[in-house]
A and B are shown apart, each in its own frame.
Chain A
Protein backbone atom coordinates (compact mmCIF):
# COMPACT_ATOMS: atom_id res chain seq x y z
CA UNK A 1 0.00 0.00 0.00
CA UNK A 2 2.87 2.37 0.83
CA UNK A 3 2.72 5.27 -1.59
CA UNK A 4 6.37 6.23 -1.83
CA UNK A 5 7.58 8.93 -4.13
CA UNK A 6 10.67 9.07 -6.29
CA UNK A 7 11.26 12.73 -5.47
CA UNK A 8 11.22 12.72 -1.66
CA UNK A 9 14.42 13.53 0.20
CA UNK A 10 14.23 10.72 2.74
CA UNK A 11 13.63 6.99 2.29
CA UNK A 12 10.21 7.13 3.94
CA UNK A 13 7.60 9.41 5.46
CA UNK A 14 9.23 8.96 8.87
CA UNK A 15 12.65 9.83 7.43
CA UNK A 16 11.33 13.03 5.81
CA UNK A 17 9.54 13.91 9.03
CA UNK A 18 12.72 13.52 11.10
CA UNK A 19 14.74 15.54 8.58
CA UNK A 20 12.22 18.37 8.75
CA UNK A 21 12.03 18.38 12.57
CA UNK A 22 15.78 18.08 13.19
CA UNK A 23 16.59 20.76 10.61
CA UNK A 24 13.98 23.06 12.22
CA UNK A 25 15.61 22.58 15.64
CA UNK A 26 19.07 23.30 14.19
CA UNK A 27 17.80 26.47 12.48
CA UNK A 28 15.98 27.57 15.64
CA UNK A 29 19.01 27.12 17.87
CA UNK A 30 21.26 28.84 15.31
CA UNK A 31 19.05 31.94 15.00
CA UNK A 32 18.59 32.22 18.77
CA UNK A 33 22.39 31.94 19.15
CA UNK A 34 22.91 34.54 16.46
CA UNK A 35 20.46 36.92 18.18
CA UNK A 36 22.41 36.37 21.42
CA UNK A 37 25.65 37.26 19.60
CA UNK A 38 24.07 40.45 18.20
CA UNK A 39 22.91 41.47 21.66
CA UNK A 40 26.13 40.59 23.51
CA UNK A 41 28.70 41.93 21.05
CA UNK A 42 29.76 45.39 22.26
CA UNK A 43 30.89 46.79 18.89
CA UNK A 44 28.76 45.48 16.03
CA UNK A 45 30.70 46.12 12.86
CA UNK A 46 31.93 44.28 9.79
CA UNK A 47 35.20 43.38 11.49
CA UNK A 48 33.40 41.59 14.36
CA UNK A 49 31.07 39.82 11.91
CA UNK A 50 33.96 38.74 9.68
CA UNK A 51 35.98 37.51 12.68
CA UNK A 52 33.03 35.46 13.94
CA UNK A 53 32.51 33.77 10.59
CA UNK A 54 36.19 33.23 9.84
CA UNK A 55 36.81 30.68 12.60
CA UNK A 56 36.63 27.05 11.48
CA UNK A 57 33.99 26.07 14.07
CA UNK A 58 31.64 28.77 12.81
CA UNK A 59 32.29 27.74 9.20
CA UNK A 60 31.24 24.19 10.11
CA UNK A 61 28.15 25.48 11.94
CA UNK A 62 27.22 27.73 9.00
CA UNK A 63 27.59 24.80 6.58
CA UNK A 64 25.31 22.69 8.78
CA UNK A 65 22.77 25.52 8.90
CA UNK A 66 22.70 26.02 5.13
CA UNK A 67 22.39 22.25 4.69
CA UNK A 68 19.51 22.18 7.20
CA UNK A 69 17.81 25.12 5.48
CA UNK A 70 18.03 23.44 2.08
CA UNK A 71 16.78 20.07 3.40
CA UNK A 72 13.97 21.76 5.35
CA UNK A 73 12.95 23.79 2.31
CA UNK A 74 12.95 20.74 0.04
CA UNK A 75 10.69 18.67 2.33
CA UNK A 76 8.34 21.63 2.80
CA UNK A 77 8.16 22.75 -0.84
CA UNK A 78 7.79 19.13 -2.02
CA UNK A 79 4.86 18.81 0.37
CA UNK A 80 3.25 22.02 -0.95
CA UNK A 81 3.73 20.98 -4.58
CA UNK A 82 2.22 17.53 -4.00
CA UNK A 83 -0.75 19.19 -2.26
CA UNK A 84 -1.54 21.84 -4.84
CA UNK A 85 0.01 20.91 -8.18
CA UNK A 86 -2.03 17.74 -8.73
CA UNK A 87 -4.39 16.80 -11.58
CA UNK A 88 -7.44 17.29 -9.32
CA UNK A 89 -6.37 20.76 -8.20
CA UNK A 90 -5.06 21.97 -11.55
CA UNK A 91 -8.27 20.94 -13.35
CA UNK A 92 -9.80 24.13 -11.88
CA UNK A 93 -7.47 26.22 -14.03
CA UNK A 94 -7.67 23.92 -17.06
CA UNK A 95 -4.25 22.33 -16.54
CA UNK A 96 -5.37 18.94 -15.16
CA UNK A 97 -3.66 16.94 -17.90
CA UNK A 98 -0.37 18.78 -17.46
CA UNK A 99 -0.27 18.78 -13.63
CA UNK A 100 2.18 15.90 -13.17
CA UNK A 101 4.60 17.28 -15.78
CA UNK A 102 4.27 20.76 -14.32
CA UNK A 103 4.95 19.47 -10.80
CA UNK A 104 8.04 17.61 -11.98
CA UNK A 105 9.25 20.76 -13.75
CA UNK A 106 8.70 22.85 -10.61
CA UNK A 107 10.48 20.20 -8.52
CA UNK A 108 13.48 20.36 -10.85
CA UNK A 109 13.51 24.18 -10.67
CA UNK A 110 13.30 24.12 -6.86
CA UNK A 111 16.00 21.43 -6.70
CA UNK A 112 18.36 23.44 -8.92
CA UNK A 113 17.66 26.61 -6.93
CA UNK A 114 18.31 24.87 -3.59
CA UNK A 115 21.38 23.02 -4.86
CA UNK A 116 22.69 26.31 -6.28
CA UNK A 117 22.08 28.00 -2.91
CA UNK A 118 23.91 25.19 -1.12
CA UNK A 119 26.92 25.35 -3.44
CA UNK A 120 27.02 29.13 -3.42
CA UNK A 121 26.64 29.14 0.38
CA UNK A 122 29.56 26.72 0.70
CA UNK A 123 31.74 28.95 -1.52
CA UNK A 124 30.92 32.01 0.64
CA UNK A 125 31.32 30.17 3.97
CA UNK A 126 34.66 28.59 3.09
CA UNK A 127 36.14 31.56 1.18
CA UNK A 128 39.64 32.29 2.40
CA UNK A 129 39.81 29.18 4.61
Chain B
Protein backbone atom coordinates (compact mmCIF):
# COMPACT_ATOMS: atom_id res chain seq x y z
CA UNK B 1 0.00 0.00 0.00
CA UNK B 2 1.26 3.47 -0.87
CA UNK B 3 2.64 5.46 2.03
CA UNK B 4 0.87 8.81 1.70
CA UNK B 5 1.72 11.45 4.28
CA UNK B 6 0.03 14.73 5.06
CA UNK B 7 2.22 17.68 5.94
CA UNK B 8 0.91 20.81 7.60
CA UNK B 9 3.59 23.42 7.21
CA UNK B 10 3.83 26.91 8.67
CA UNK B 11 3.99 29.44 5.86
CA UNK B 12 4.82 33.11 6.12
CA UNK B 13 6.31 35.47 3.60
CA UNK B 14 6.30 38.93 5.18
CA UNK B 15 6.48 40.55 1.71
CA UNK B 16 3.19 38.93 0.68
CA UNK B 17 1.29 37.58 3.68
CA UNK B 18 -0.57 39.67 6.23
CA UNK B 19 -0.28 36.84 8.74
CA UNK B 20 1.26 33.37 8.99
CA UNK B 21 -0.90 30.40 7.98
CA UNK B 22 -0.65 26.60 7.83
CA UNK B 23 -0.49 25.00 4.38
CA UNK B 24 -1.39 21.36 3.82
CA UNK B 25 0.58 19.19 1.41
CA UNK B 26 0.26 15.51 0.64
CA UNK B 27 3.20 13.43 -0.51
CA UNK B 28 3.35 9.82 -1.59
CA UNK B 29 6.59 8.35 -0.31
CA UNK B 30 8.32 6.04 -2.77
CA UNK B 31 10.60 4.43 -0.19
CA UNK B 32 13.71 6.43 -1.03
CA UNK B 33 12.95 9.01 1.68
CA UNK B 34 14.28 8.12 5.11
CA UNK B 35 14.11 11.36 7.03
CA UNK B 36 11.72 14.31 7.23
CA UNK B 37 14.31 16.42 5.38
CA UNK B 38 14.06 14.09 2.35
CA UNK B 39 10.30 14.65 2.30
CA UNK B 40 10.70 18.43 2.67
CA UNK B 41 13.12 18.49 -0.27
CA UNK B 42 10.52 16.61 -2.36
CA UNK B 43 7.84 19.07 -1.26
CA UNK B 44 10.09 21.93 -2.32
CA UNK B 45 10.16 20.41 -5.79
CA UNK B 46 6.33 20.58 -5.77
CA UNK B 47 6.29 24.12 -4.38
CA UNK B 48 9.47 26.11 -4.86
CA UNK B 49 8.27 28.90 -2.57
CA UNK B 50 8.60 26.66 0.51
CA UNK B 51 11.65 27.87 2.45
CA UNK B 52 13.79 26.08 5.01
CA UNK B 53 17.48 25.83 5.88
CA UNK B 54 19.46 22.65 5.38
CA UNK B 55 23.01 21.74 4.55
CA UNK B 56 24.84 18.58 5.57
CA UNK B 57 21.68 16.42 5.86
CA UNK B 58 23.30 14.23 8.52
CA UNK B 59 22.93 15.99 11.87
CA UNK B 60 26.31 17.74 11.87
CA UNK B 61 25.69 21.26 10.59
CA UNK B 62 22.63 22.02 12.70
CA UNK B 63 20.87 24.10 10.01
CA UNK B 64 17.54 22.29 9.78
CA UNK B 65 16.27 22.73 13.34
CA UNK B 66 12.47 23.01 13.32
CA UNK B 67 9.43 22.18 15.41
CA UNK B 68 8.19 18.74 14.32
CA UNK B 69 4.82 17.67 15.70
CA UNK B 70 5.32 19.96 18.67
CA UNK B 71 8.91 19.00 19.50
CA UNK B 72 12.06 20.74 18.31
CA UNK B 73 14.44 18.58 16.33
CA UNK B 74 16.54 18.30 13.20
CA UNK B 75 14.57 17.39 10.06
CA UNK B 76 17.54 15.32 8.85
CA UNK B 77 17.45 13.14 11.98
CA UNK B 78 13.65 12.79 12.22
CA UNK B 79 12.96 9.36 10.74
CA UNK B 80 9.77 9.17 8.67
CA UNK B 81 9.26 5.62 9.99
CA UNK B 82 8.83 7.05 13.47
CA UNK B 83 6.60 9.96 12.44
CA UNK B 84 2.81 9.59 12.12
CA UNK B 85 0.79 9.96 8.91
CA UNK B 86 0.19 13.63 9.63
CA UNK B 87 3.27 15.73 10.26
CA UNK B 88 2.98 19.31 11.49
CA UNK B 89 6.09 21.40 10.89
CA UNK B 90 6.61 24.86 12.35
CA UNK B 91 9.69 27.10 12.71
CA UNK B 92 11.71 26.98 15.93
CA UNK B 93 9.58 28.83 18.52
CA UNK B 94 10.51 32.12 20.12
CA UNK B 95 12.69 33.59 17.37
CA UNK B 96 11.42 36.02 14.72
CA UNK B 97 10.42 34.29 11.48
CA UNK B 98 12.21 35.52 8.36
CA UNK B 99 10.19 33.31 6.06
CA UNK B 100 8.37 29.96 6.43
CA UNK B 101 10.66 27.70 8.52
CA UNK B 102 13.61 30.10 8.44
CA UNK B 103 14.12 32.02 11.70
CA UNK B 104 16.31 34.97 12.60
CA UNK B 105 19.05 33.52 14.83
CA UNK B 106 20.62 36.88 15.79
CA UNK B 107 19.56 36.69 19.46
CA UNK B 108 20.82 33.13 19.69
CA UNK B 109 24.24 33.98 18.25
CA UNK B 110 24.49 37.13 20.36
CA UNK B 111 24.28 34.95 23.50
CA UNK B 112 26.86 32.59 22.01
CA UNK B 113 29.18 35.53 21.31
CA UNK B 114 28.79 36.74 24.92
CA UNK B 115 30.44 33.64 26.38
CA UNK B 116 33.60 34.19 24.30
CA UNK B 117 33.54 30.73 22.76
CA UNK B 118 37.28 30.42 22.21
CA UNK B 119 40.33 29.56 24.31
CA UNK B 120 41.78 32.53 26.17
CA UNK B 121 45.39 31.82 27.04
CA UNK B 122 48.02 34.55 27.15
CA UNK B 123 50.93 32.25 28.01
CA UNK B 124 53.32 32.08 25.03
CA UNK B 125 52.41 28.91 23.15
CA UNK B 126 54.85 25.97 23.38
CA UNK B 127 56.66 24.87 20.17
CA UNK B 128 54.03 22.14 19.71
CA UNK B 129 50.36 22.37 20.72
CA UNK B 130 49.02 23.18 24.22
CA UNK B 131 48.70 19.74 25.71
CA UNK B 132 45.98 18.27 27.92
CA UNK B 133 46.00 15.11 30.01
CA UNK B 134 43.46 12.50 28.88
CA UNK B 135 41.53 13.20 32.14
CA UNK B 136 41.35 16.94 31.39
CA UNK B 137 40.33 16.22 27.82
CA UNK B 138 37.50 14.02 29.07
CA UNK B 139 36.03 16.97 30.96
CA UNK B 140 34.85 18.60 27.74
CA UNK B 141 33.07 15.47 26.52
CA UNK B 142 29.33 16.04 26.36
CA UNK B 143 29.99 19.76 25.81
CA UNK B 144 32.07 20.25 22.67
CA UNK B 145 29.66 18.19 20.56
CA UNK B 146 27.06 21.00 20.48
CA UNK B 147 26.28 21.94 16.85
CA UNK B 148 24.40 25.18 17.69
CA UNK B 149 21.19 24.05 16.02
CA UNK B 150 19.18 26.11 18.59
CA UNK B 151 16.67 23.31 19.24
CA UNK B 152 17.40 23.60 22.99
CA UNK B 153 17.35 27.37 23.43
CA UNK B 154 14.14 27.74 21.40
CA UNK B 155 12.39 25.12 23.54
CA UNK B 156 13.27 27.01 26.73
CA UNK B 157 10.62 29.40 28.16
CA UNK B 158 13.30 31.34 30.05
CA UNK B 159 15.01 32.01 26.70
CA UNK B 160 11.67 32.95 25.10
CA UNK B 161 10.99 35.51 27.84
CA UNK B 162 14.50 36.97 28.10
CA UNK B 163 16.46 36.13 24.93
CA UNK B 164 18.56 39.28 25.39
CA UNK B 165 19.61 38.52 28.99
CA UNK B 166 19.48 34.77 29.61
CA UNK B 167 22.24 32.84 27.81
CA UNK B 168 19.95 29.94 27.01
CA UNK B 169 21.03 26.29 27.15
CA UNK B 170 23.23 26.32 24.01
CA UNK B 171 25.40 29.27 25.02
CA UNK B 172 25.50 27.95 28.61
CA UNK B 173 26.90 24.59 27.55
CA UNK B 174 29.52 26.48 25.51
CA UNK B 175 30.30 28.69 28.50
CA UNK B 176 30.95 25.63 30.65
CA UNK B 177 32.96 23.98 27.86
CA UNK B 178 35.53 26.82 28.11
CA UNK B 179 35.28 27.18 31.90
CA UNK B 180 36.28 23.56 32.36
CA UNK B 181 38.97 23.48 29.66
CA UNK B 182 42.37 23.06 31.36
CA UNK B 183 44.04 25.17 28.64
CA UNK B 184 41.87 28.23 29.28
CA UNK B 185 43.20 30.92 31.64
CA UNK B 186 40.19 33.23 31.83
CA UNK B 187 38.05 31.24 34.29
CA UNK B 188 37.72 34.11 36.80
CA UNK B 189 36.69 36.66 34.14
CA UNK B 190 34.30 34.19 32.54
CA UNK B 191 32.64 33.48 35.90
CA UNK B 192 32.43 37.20 36.74
CA UNK B 193 30.54 37.72 33.46
CA UNK B 194 27.98 35.07 34.39
CA UNK B 195 27.30 36.17 37.96
CA UNK B 196 24.18 38.23 37.29
CA UNK B 197 20.54 37.26 37.95
CA UNK B 198 19.89 36.35 34.29
CA UNK B 199 22.81 34.77 32.41
CA UNK B 200 22.67 31.34 34.05
CA UNK B 201 20.38 31.85 37.05
CA UNK B 202 17.27 32.28 34.91
CA UNK B 203 17.38 28.53 34.25
CA UNK B 204 14.68 26.88 36.37
CA UNK B 205 15.78 23.37 35.50
CA UNK B 206 12.71 22.22 33.55
CA UNK B 207 15.05 20.34 31.19
CA UNK B 208 13.19 21.02 27.92
CA UNK B 209 16.69 21.44 26.47
CA UNK B 210 17.73 17.93 27.50
CA UNK B 211 14.50 16.57 26.07
CA UNK B 212 15.12 17.96 22.58
CA UNK B 213 18.91 18.00 22.08
CA UNK B 214 19.57 15.98 18.90
CA UNK B 215 23.10 15.25 20.11
CA UNK B 216 21.91 13.92 23.48
CA UNK B 217 23.67 16.63 25.50
CA UNK B 218 22.64 17.92 28.91
CA UNK B 219 22.75 21.73 29.15
CA UNK B 220 20.88 21.71 32.50
CA UNK B 221 23.76 19.78 34.06
CA UNK B 222 26.30 22.20 32.55
CA UNK B 223 24.37 25.13 34.04
CA UNK B 224 24.41 23.32 37.40
CA UNK B 225 28.20 22.98 37.15
CA UNK B 226 28.54 26.70 36.34
CA UNK B 227 26.43 27.56 39.41
CA UNK B 228 28.60 25.32 41.55
CA UNK B 229 31.71 27.11 40.25
CA UNK B 230 30.10 30.49 41.02
CA UNK B 231 29.15 29.26 44.50
CA UNK B 232 32.62 27.95 45.31
CA UNK B 233 34.06 31.26 44.16
CA UNK B 234 31.53 33.32 46.12
CA UNK B 235 31.08 31.47 49.41
Contacts and interface: CB of A to CB of B under 8 A. Distances in A.
Interface of A: 1-5, 8, 12-18, 79, 82-84, 86, 88-89
B30 to A, nearest CB: 44
Most buried by A among B200, B201, B227: B201
Interface stretch (B34-42, B47-55, B191-199): B191-199
A13 B231 contact: no
Interface of B: 114, 157-158, 161-162, 165, 192-202, 227, 230-231, 234-235
Nearest to A5: B197
A2 B161 contact: no
A3 B111 CA distance: 12
17 contacts: A1-B114, A2-B192, A3-B165, A3-B197, A4-B197, A12-B196, A12-B234, A13-B195, A13-B198, A13-B199, A14-B227, A14-B234, A18-B231, A18-B234, A18-B235, A84-B161, A86-B161
A112 to B, nearest CB: 21
Contacts of A13: 194-201, 230
Nearest to B234: A14
SS of A interface (majority): helix
B109 to A, nearest CB: 15
Contacts of A86: 161-162
Contacts, number: 62
Contact of A89 (B114, B161, B194, B195): B161
A93 to B, nearest CB: 15
Contacts of B231: 14, 17-18
Given A12-B234, A14-B231, A17-B201, A3 B196 contact: yes
B221 to A, nearest CB: 17
A82 B192 contact: no
Nearest to B193: A1
Contacts of B197: 3-5, 8, 12-13, 16, 79, 82
Contacts of B162: 82-83, 86
A17 B192 contact: no
Nearest to A15: B234
Nearest to B163: A88
Contact of A12 (B114, B157, B161, B195): B195
Contacts of A2: 192-196, 199
A87 B161 CA distance: 10
A5 B201 CA distance: 13
A57 B82 CA distance: 63
A32 B235 CA distance: 27
